[in-house]
Amino acid sequence: MRFFFNKKLKEKWGDDLEVTLVNQETLNNKLVFRKLMSEYYQEITYALQEGGLTLEIGSGGGFFREYHPHVITSDILQVPGVDVVCNSTQLPFREGSLKNIVMRGVLHHIYDPILCFEECERTLAVGGRIIMNDPYISPFSHFIYKYISFEFFDPNADWKFERGQPLMDCNLAMGTIIFKKRLDDFKKRFPRLKIAHTNYHTFFIYLLTGGYSYPALIPKWMFGPVMTIERFLKPLRMLLSSILFIVLEKSGDAEGKN
């Protein structure tokens, strides 16, 4: 697999900013992969609450603004197209000032999700949402994340890790650890953040697009047929899924009363 690894990405590996720019270039040029990211952004867009500010955390090389033009983009790095440079554990927004907080492929890069969710809860208005798309560890994706992905993977870890480089240091299993293995702990710690919606998807298609790291195995015109097959296999999603989509909504108080 190392032989097929994105050459530009390999050359820049270790430099967070340069890797982000290479990822941005990959999204712009690899059309079948961009199509998959568009599907993710559309799912996020449908879950947005209306009538307030939307913040995207970890905007990096993404293009969510094409689907929500008024989004406030943010990143821990000074990347072109980012409105606010900040850390997700210290958001520069007033209490209750945000209607939506969006994270696509970001949660597993946050070294202390507890601090992040505390900040999200603080800055969200009542009824506001945290909308996340992140890796999910199913029996099938476990093999992919362990043997094919280049990012760190430990499903038995705690739901935090040592702070280091924001892009290089991560745990692909973070979403599964928090919202499957440690869900009771999460609910006790954040009683006002209620799960409003979950979805498990993306079976083979990410692997076939090559993601950021490998060449695409299918042309763009095959995206539709592959997605049709994935929809047919939806009853097996808990066995095959590699992505968790989850929406948290802030209630009026700890008991969920408005």
Beta bridge partners of 90: 87
| CA–CA dist 252, 135 (Å, integer) | 30
pLDDT tens digits along 133-181: 999 999 999 999 998 888 899 999 998 888 887 777 899 999 999 999 9
Q: For residue 258, what pLDDT band results from cuts at 50, 70 and 90?
A: very low
- Specify the residue for token string 């997605």: 227
The H or E element that residue 195 is part of is strand 193-201
CATH number 3.10.130.10 is the correct assignment for the domain at 39-202+238-250: no
**DSSP symbols for 13-24:** TT-HHHHHHHHH
> Could you tell me the pTM of the whole model?
0.94
Burial pattern 67-84, b for ≥16 Cβ within 10 A else e, equals ebeebbbbbbbebeebee
Helices (H), the chain: 7-12, 16-29, 31-47, 113-123, 139-147, 174-176, 183-189, 205-209, 223-232, 237-240
Asked whether the beta carbons of 6 and 213 are under 8 A apart, the reply is: yes
The domain ranges of the chain are 39-202+238-250
Share of the chain above pLDDT 90, in %: 82
Distance CA 128, CA 102 (A): 11
Rounded distance between C-alpha atoms, residue 195 and residue 247, angstroms: 6
